[in-house]
Amino acid sequence: MIKIKTGFIELDKIIDISKPQLTLLTGVTLADILSGDIANNICLKQECEVLEIIHTRKEYLIQRMLVNESNVNYRKWNQENRYTDEELKRIGKSLVNLVGVTKRLPTIIEQNVNLYDLGKVAKFVSDFANDYADREIVNTLIVLDIFPLSEGFKGRFTKRDRKKIIQLIKKLKNISHKLRCPIIVVDSIDILKKVNKQTNIYNYITKDDINDINTINKYVDTFIILNKNQKEQENPQINTDIFDIDVYDKNKRIGTCKLKYDYECRKFLNK
C-alpha cells in the first residue's frame, strides 16, 4: 500500500490514513469541509482515487475544488463580473489542471439524507473497495458525509434509525479491514449541547463526548475531532479562523495540531 497523505503536514505526522481503518472526523463545525479538502488533496496531488458519498450537490464539490485550486473568493462565483482578469486566468489554469487529472477526480455519489438508504451506501462502498481488493497496492480512500450520529440532532432520528447507523458503522469497519481500504466518516455533533448561551461560545468537544452519545467506539479505529480555537482568533479583516485538531485512537489522544480555515476560499490551510 502506498503512503496516502492528507495534505496537512502536522496532521500527517499524527495519523497514517494509508492503513486499512475506519476514521471518524467530527466536531462542532466544518468537519465536512476538512474531509473534502483531504479528498481534494489526495486526488490532485497523489496517484490515488477517492470515492465521496455526500448529502450535497456534486456541482458544489467541483466548484469548491476549482476555487480552492485557484485561491479565489468562493462567494464571487455566482456574482456577475466580480472576478478580476488575473483571478479568471488562475481559474482557467486550475480547470486545465483538473482536466489533466480527470482519472483521479473523486467519484462522487449524491445521497439524499432524507431517504436514509444506508444499505445502498454500504453497497456503494463495498463495490468500490472490491475493485482494489486483489491488487498488490491499494491506493484509494473512501469519504462518507451522509448523516449525523448524534441522537439529539434536531430530533430527526428514531431508535430504529440509530440502530441502522450502528449497523452501517460495523459494515464499514469490516470493509475497511477486509478490503484494506481506509474510510473516513464525517459526523455531526449536536452542537446545541455544547454552546454557552451567555457567551455564545462553543465548549470543547472531546472523544468522551462522542462516547456519551453513541456506541460506536469499539468499531472506530481513529477519531479526528475539530474544534474552533476560541483563544487564538484571527484578525476578522483577514477572514480566517484557527481550529484545534485532536486525534484519538480507541483509548487516548495520540496527537494534536492546528489548521487555519480560509472563509473566502472555503478551505483549510496548514497553519
Give the CATH number for residue 75. 3.40.50.300
The residue among 180 and 154 whose pLDDT is bigger is 180
137 belongs to a structural domain: yes
1 belongs to a structural domain: no
86 belongs to a structural domain: yes
Query: Would you state the pLDDT for residue 190?
Result: 60
Q: 39-48, 60-69, 96-105, 137-146: which range is least confident on average?
A: 96-105
188 belongs to a structural domain: yes
Range of the domain at 239: 9-270
4 belongs to a structural domain: no
Q: How many domains does the chain fold into? A: 1
Query: Model confidence at 217, in pLDDT bands (50, 70, 90)?
Result: confident
3 belongs to a structural domain: no
Name the nearest CA neighbour of 150 among 217, 195, 204, 210.
Answer: 210
List the beta strands (DSSP E) in the chain.
22-27, 49-54, 107-110, 140-145, 183-186, 195-196, 201-202, 222-228, 240-248, 253-262, 267-270
